[in-house]
Structure 1
Amino acid sequence: MAETQGNIRYAVHHLLTAWSDYDRHCADAVAQARREADTLARMLGAVPGGDALTTEVTDIMTAGTARAETELRQAGESYSTEARTLLGLLTGQPDLASAPFTLPSPGSGLSGIVATFPTIESRRYVEHVLTDHTDSDVITTASARSAASNGPSAPAGQVAAFAAQFPSELHEMITRMQTHSRSHALQTHGPDVTDDALKARLTWRKDPAGRTNSANRWALNDDGTVSTNHVVGPLAGKFTTMEAMAKPLRALLAATGNTVAGLETYLTSKAVGRTARIFVPAHECGLEPGDTAAYRGAGTQTEDMARDWAQARDFAMGSGADPMPIVPTDPIADGLDPGAAMSFRKSGDHWIMTTCYPVPTPDERFTRLRSTDS
């Protein structure tokens, strides 16, 4: 079912964006024809005795523009019919295809396209996709293959720069956390992760750390398909500075007494098995707009649309199709309840931080940190 939904979602998105592009070109063509008619009329009007000719030519061009608008409108009807049929299949609303609608004039823009969909849900879906369309970006598989990887282990300089954000008595613990073989926070979400690496991770599920184990290895196959088990949802983000990346852990340490023992006692109390997941709200740790950067799937403003986008992304990976579009975002500035998601794992006698990344809203599996926690 997910494969079918991904196929349909992929088709819906690309059909809607093609319609939007077509509509924009229609507006440009009609406007250009009218400008040319006006220019010609002014030129003929300056010729002695040219008034009658001006009227004749203007009438011809006006009639021609009207015929062109009719033909362009008919092409728009095909886009509308197909888009409503596909969206009906995707949302389980087959009546979308047969519902009456008013076809907009060519070049009517977003509002005209949205108005052809009969239900609030379908209109909102289309509006979300096309609102993102103008800011969207894509990265090809070839560009994803060449995107830089940080390496499976955090460089010593990055580890030292991160540890420097904490009191000296905690440097040993911080260093141990970041150099553990399971830790990938700096490699996948640190400030050295490039924009292309973020785009490649989101669009083609390529690990920014370049890990080659079975869970993360990535391959671009000869037939254009992509193979990987690397897991990423409809958003991929990072912290823009080491100071910003340290803020969530500093807040967690402050809430647990600023000691190793206090932190480990807290994590043990919140753990499920050997894993503890903590969500640190932005207002609790001082994360501000600009501290984070990310890309999200275009048209993923709702949970259902985010799921659909991820399925369409996976369809593109498995079929060698063109990439799904993405848009830049700042999880802290744009999120409804933003913050940082932190995962810890018990390794021997100590806890290590496996990852830390910015999120626009918390995952229900994570324990929410409050300033009174201890």
Structure 2
Amino acid sequence: MSGSGQSVLRQAVESLLRARADAERELHDVAARAAKAALRPSEAARAARHPLARRAADDAAGPAAAFPADLAALATDTRTAIATEIHALLDLLAVDHHQLPPLPPLDPGPLAVPGAAGFVQAFPDGFARSYVAAVLGDLSGGRATSKADAAAQPAARQLAIDDARDRIVAAVSPPHQAVVRAWLSHEACHAVEIHGPQVSDRELELRVGWTRPPDHATPGADPWRIRPDGKVVSQHRVMVDAGAFTSEAAFVRPLEAFLAVAGRHEGGIDGFLRDHSAGGIAPFFITARQGGLAPGDAVAYRGAGTGTPQAARDWVRMRRDAMKNDDECMAPVRTIPYDPIADGADPGVRLVFKHREDGWVMVTYYPSDSPAPDNQRLEDLT
């Protein structure tokens, strides 16, 4: 296996964090077994009820009492060694790949305390501590899929996409059905194809893990494929997460909220888009509350350990290197299912329009756990 320096460093951080968890668990088990075993000679000697035997019991109890302290010292030394290596790797990532200053030193004090919380606190605040917390928090969750899994996934059916679009339009209030159908049917719009209720959990998982588009093999979809040498060929753009609506009703409710606000503009919907655009792009965010979304109305997958911008970029680089040919690729990345509405810090729907020669076009519309930096909050425009 091989990969870029950035990928190798990130993978090494994950491996060491996994080793820390294994070491903590094994040392805890050893401590419990050793303490019990060390007390057996003392207990057996006392059971003999002879002065010499009781003296032997006292002599045997001495080493047993020292075991916990000895093992605690060993555990601290183990945590310190692993933390030191991770700190060095993160320093390389910070300086060489994220244009950050060198890291401050570790704080060894918290490493004397068992558990993840103390381990995380040992790292300097900021980049290093948040990075370790993000990766460590997802270490036991998620799973990896293989190239073979992605290749074996059945192609999307255009009929299923068309049926989903028809059901969505039928759920829209009659005055808006024509404009919504025009938006969702435009060749530049992939809202239904990629985020509609016909998209399965498995398709979302493979989209995040291997950039395989949910509308694979339908007209207009990215010609994603795996070459005979194992290289994944893809131009499909996806960062660290992918989501979809779970029903036509969930898809429509936020859109109706947008149409209600835009429709009140004196220039109508086109005027609203014109007045809230820059460079021909009009990005919006409809909060879950305003859009009437509840837990269960959306489903998503995300990369494991992508909770900071730098960790997310490193994870994307690992995915890219996993998609290389079989002689050069790294191990597959892991992904985690989640509910963006239930789990998001500021959940809702991202909606983006672009102005083209044929007018305003909806290019994307999908559930998200938070707004994009350039999104205009619809609730602020009412």
Q: Residues 55 and 191 from structure 1, CA distance in 2 versus in 1: closer, same or farther, beyond 3 angstroms?
A: farther
SS in 1 for 2:28: helix
Alignment partner, residue 234 of structure 2: 228
Alpha-carbon distance in structure 2 between the residues aligned to 1:27 and 1:73: 12
Alpha-carbon distance in structure 1 between the residues aligned to 2:247 and 2:87: 45
Establish whether residue 293 from structure 1 lines up as the match of residue 299 from structure 2.
yes
The residue type paired with residue 319 of structure 2 is R
Deviates more, 1:264-273 or 1:223-232: 264-273
Q: Indicate if the aligned counterparts of 1:341 and 1:356 stay in contact, CA closer than 8 A.
A: yes
The residue type paired with residue 16 of structure 1 is L
Q: Residues 302 and 118 from structure 1, CA distance in 2 versus in 1: closer, same or farther, beyond 3 angstroms?
A: closer
**1:47-105 CA-partner distances (Å, limit 9, x unpaired):** 78786776676666666776666555554443222111001112235455x65634835
Establish whether residue 81 from structure 1 lines up as the match of residue 88 from structure 2.
no
Deviates more, 1:344-353 or 1:183-192: 344-353
TM-score, structure 1 as length reference = 0.80
Displacement of 1:17 in angstroms is 2.8
Q: Residues 95 and 347 from structure 1, CA distance in 2 versus in 1: closer, same or farther, beyond 3 angstroms?
A: closer
Aligned residues: CA RMSD: 3.7
Establish whether residue 101 from structure 1 lines up as the match of residue 102 from structure 2.
no
Q: Residues 303 and 363 from structure 1, CA distance in 2 versus in 1: closer, same or farther, beyond 3 angstroms?
A: same
Establish whether residue 362 from structure 1 lines up as the match of residue 371 from structure 2.
yes
Alpha-carbon distance in structure 1 between the residues aligned to 2:59 and 2:306: 52
Alignment partner, residue 348 of structure 2: 339
TM-score, structure 2 as length reference = 0.79
Which residue, out of 194, 197, 210, partners 1:188? 194
Establish whether residue 327 from structure 1 lines up as the match of residue 336 from structure 2.
yes
- What pairs with 1:1-374 in structure 2 (closer than 5 Å)? 4-37=5-38, 73-92=76-95, 93-94=101-102, 96=104, 101-102=108-109, 104=111, 108-119=114-125, 121-151=127-157, 155-211=161-217, 216-221=222-227, 224-257=230-263, 262-272=268-278, 275-318=281-324, 319-346=328-355, 349=358, 351-370=360-379, 372-373=381-382
The residue type paired with residue 93 of structure 2 is L
Q: Residues 99 and 192 from structure 1, CA distance in 2 versus in 1: closer, same or farther, beyond 3 angstroms?
A: same
Displacement of 1:233 in angstroms is 1.5
The residue type paired with residue 18 of structure 1 is A
Alpha-carbon distance in structure 1 between the residues aligned to 2:72 and 2:329: 37
Displacement of 1:356 in angstroms is 0.8
SS in 1 for 2:242: strand
The residue type paired with residue 291 of structure 1 is D
SS in 2 for 1:188: helix
5+ residue gaps, structure 2: 96-100
Identity %: 31
Deviates more, 1:243-252 or 1:171-180: 171-180
SS in 2 for 1:256: helix
Matched residue pairs, number? 369
